[in-house]
Amino acid sequence: MRKFARQGTPSEFRTRRYRVLPRATALGVTVALTAVASATALATQSFADQLPSPVPIEVGRSPQSVAADPATDMVYAANSYSFFTSQGSVSVIDGRPNADGAPPKVVATIPVGHYPTGIAVDPSTDMVYVSNYGSNSVSVIDGHTNRVTGTIGVGAHPADIGVVPSSDTIYVADAGNGKSRGTVSVIDGHTDRVVGSVGVGYEPFSIGVNTLSGTVYVGNQGGNGPSTGYLGTVSIIHGTNVIGTVGVDGTPTVIGVDDLTNTAYVANSGDYGDEVAVINNSGRLVSQISNPGGQGHGVAVNEDTHAVFVANMNSGQVGGPVGSLTVINAKTNGVIALVSAGGNPYGDAVDPTTNQVYIAQNTSPGIVSMLNFSGYSIIGGTPPATIPTTTTTSLSSLNGTLCGVMLKSGALKTLGINTYSITENHSIVVPGYGTCDIQSIPPSYPKDDTTPVGDVQLSVSHSYSPPPAGTDMKSLSGLGAGAELYGADSELPSVVFHRGKAAVILQFGFDIEALAALITAILPKLVTAAHQVYALMG
C-alpha cells in the first residue's frame, strides 16, 4: 500500500521535460466536487453534499510528503523548509478519532536532515524513515518516542523512499544529478545499514511498494537518458534485482500501489498530457487514465474501499490558487470525482483504518489537510482505453498500424536511420493514444569526447495537437507549410511537421547549441520523410 507521495525537488522543475499547464480560476477553500465529463457513473450528489470540508492542520514550512501509520493512526509530514539554508523537520499528527470531534493536531516536531523529501512508515516496527534530499541521508525515527535513532548515508539526492515490512527492507531512490543513471539504495531495517545498490534509470524520484509481495516500483524521470529523449520509465525491482522496465509518457512524478491486485498507478506530467499510467500485475502498461486535475504529485491507494487518490499541485501559498484531489475507482480505473484540496498539494496518504486522506500542501506556513472519506462509497467511473500488447516489431505484423506506416514509408532511410527500436506500446493505433515512437542513433553523428553523442526520437501521430500559445514554438523558413521548431532554446528541441491532425515529429536527444549545424542539415530530410509518411497515411 502506498503510504505517502513526495514530490517537488529542485531539479524536477527543469525545462527539459516538465510542462506547466495553465490553470483555471481557483476554487474556494471549501470542498467542491466537480463532475468529470468522461465518467458515466459519477459520485452521487449526496457524496458531494455530505463530504466534509478539509480540516487544515498547521505543520512546519513547505511539507513535501506525508505518511500514515495504520497501526497507530499517527501521521508524519516531512517539512522541507528552504533548500538552501534550513534544517528540515517532521511533524507528528495524532490522527486517532476523538470522542469530542476535535480535529487532529500536531503532537511533536522532530528535526531531521536537509530538505527532507520522502517519508515512509513501517507499521510492523513503528519506525519512520525520511529521505533527506539535501543531506544525502536517511533519518530513522522511532515512532514510540518520536526521536531520531540514526542517520544512514545513501546515494546522491535521495528523493523518495518506501518500506517492505515483511523483510524490514527500505528502498531509497537516489536521484543523482541526471547526468548518469541513478540508483536505489537498499537498507536493512534490522541494522540500519545499506546492504545493496540497484541501478535503475536516470533521475529516479518516486517509489511505490507492494507491501505484500515486496515488489518495488521506481519512477525514473529521465527514463533511459539522453539517447532516448528522456522519456520516463518505471523500473520494477524484487529484492535487489530489476525484473522489468516499463516506458511511460512524460515524467513519472509519483507511484501508488494496490497491494491486493499488484497494480501500480503512476502519475505523469509531460508532452502527452497529464495522466495516471496503470501497470498491471504482469508489469505491463495497460492503460492511461486522463487526470482532470493535472500535475499529479501524490498517489495514495486504499485497497479496502478500492479508491485511488491523486493530489494535484497548483503553485501558491495559503489563500492562493487551489489544488485538487482526483478520486479514481480502482475497480474500473475510471475517474469519479475532482475535489478542491487547498493550495499546492505535493503529496498525500490514506489511513485505511480511518479512511482519512491527508494532503501535504507545500505552503508557508505549511498545512496538512485532512479529508474524511469514511462512509462514502467509491462507485462508477468509465474505464480508460486498454493499450494492446505489442509482441513483435516485424514489418509484416505492423500492417495497418502507425509504426507500419512509418517503416513502409521509407522515412527512416531518408533520415539515414539504419538501426532503430520501437518503444513502448505505440505500434498499434489506440483511440486517443495514436503515436508510434522510433528511437535510433544515426551512424553519421559525431562520437568524440567533446561533443554529445546524437540521438533522435522519430514519431508519427494521427492526433497531433499544437502546443498552447506562449510556448517556445517557431516557424521554420524554407521547409514548407507546417514545419515548426518547438523548444528552440531548450535542451530537447523538437521539429514538428504537421498537416491537419497528423504530424511527423523529430526530437533530438542532445544539446541544441552543441549540434545546431547538424540539426539544420537534417531538417530538409525531415520534410521529405514527412511527405513520404503522409503519402501512405492518405
Would you kindly state where each structural domain of the chain is located, as residue ranges?
10-17+30-372, 396-537
Find which of 5-19, 411-425, 462-476, 523-537 is predicted with most confidence, using mean pLDDT: 523-537
Nearest CA among 33, 465, 39, 516 for reference residue 272: 465
- Arithmetic mean of pLDDT, 85-101: 87
In whole angstroms, what separates CA 316 from the centre of its chain? 20
Strands (E) across 291-331 are located at 296-302, 307-312, 324-329
Q: What's the CA angle centered on 233, arms 231 and 235, to 5 degrees?
A: 160
**pLDDT (tens digit per residue) in 120-143:** 999 999 999 999 999 999 999 999
**Lowest pLDDT segment from 157-166, 425-434, 498-507:** 425-434
Q: Are 199 and 206 in contact (CB under 8 A)?
A: no
The mean pLDDT value for 190-202 works out to 95
pLDDT of residue 53: 82
Question: Does residue 14 register a pLDDT over 50?
Answer: no
DSSP 168: T
Of 374, 352, 348, the closest CA to residue 361 belongs to 348
Residue 257: pLDDT band with limits 50, 70, 90:
very high
Is the per-residue pLDDT at 153 higher than 70?
yes
- What pLDDT does residue 421 have? 66
Q: Is the pLDDT at 247 greater than 50, yes or no?
A: yes
Q: Counting beta carbons within 10 angstroms of the beta carbon of residue 431, is it exposed (0 to 12), middle (13 to 18) or buried (19 or more)? A: exposed
Least confident of 58-72, 293-307, 476-490: 476-490
* Statement: residue 246 has pLDDT above 60: yes
Closest listed residue to residue 73, CA positions, set 143, 142, 7:
143
Tell me what percent of the chain is helix, strand and coil, each rounded to the nearest 5: 10, 45, 50
Distance CA 195, CA 174 (A): 15
CA angle 89, 59, 97 (to 5 degrees): 115
Binned at pLDDT 50, 70 and 90, residue 93 comes out as very high
Q: Which amino acid is at 78?
A: A
* 79, 84, 91, 390 from 70: Cα distances, Å: 21, 34, 17, 40
Cell numbers 539526492: residue: 157
The angle at the Cα of 222, spanning 427 to 214, to the nearest 5 degrees, equals 85
Q: Using CA atoms, how far apart are residues 94 and 98, in angstroms rounded to an integer?
A: 10
Which position has the higher pLDDT, 164 or 275?
164
Look up residue 394 and give its amino acid.
Answer: S
| Choice between 7 and 203, residue whose per-residue pLDDT is larger | 203
- Which residue, chain included where needed, has cell 492562493? 320
Q: What is the mean pLDDT of the chain?
A: 77
- Which class is 396-537 in CATH? alpha beta
Q: Whose grid coordinates read 479512511?
A: 355
Q: pLDDT tier at 479 (50, 70, 90 boundaries)?
A: low
pLDDT digits (tens, 9 = 90+) for 308-366: 999 998 644 444 457 889 999 999 999 998 888 878 899 999 999 999 999 999 888 89
Q: Which residues pair with 502 in a beta bridge?
A: 499
Q: How many angstroms separate the CA atoms of 406 and 425, rounded?
A: 15
Between residues 71 and 34, the one the model is more confident about: 71
How high is the pLDDT of residue 46?
42
Is the pLDDT at 8 greater than 60, yes or no? Answer: no
pLDDT at 376 > cutoff 80: yes
pLDDT tens digit sequence for 379-412: 888 998 887 654 444 565 566 667 777 788 888 8
Residue 23 has pLDDT above 60, yes or no: no
Q: What is the pLDDT of residues 77-90, one digit of tens each?
A: 999 987 666 789 99
Which pLDDT score, from 0 to 100, does residue 142 have? 97
Note the pLDDT of residue 36: 41
Q: Does domain 10-17+30-372 have CATH number 2.40.50.100?
A: no
3-class SS of residue 228: helix
Residues 6+ apart with CB under 8 A from 8: 64, 117, 297, 313, 346, 362
- Name the packing angle between helices 516-537 and 402-409 (round to 10°): 110
Higher pLDDT, 409 or 145: 145
CA 246 – CA 295 distance, rounded (Å)? 20
pLDDT above 70 for 487: no
**Are 10-17+30-372 and 396-537 the same fold in CATH?**
no
In the block, residue with C-alpha cell 462508477: 380
Number of H helices, E strands in the chain: 4, 35
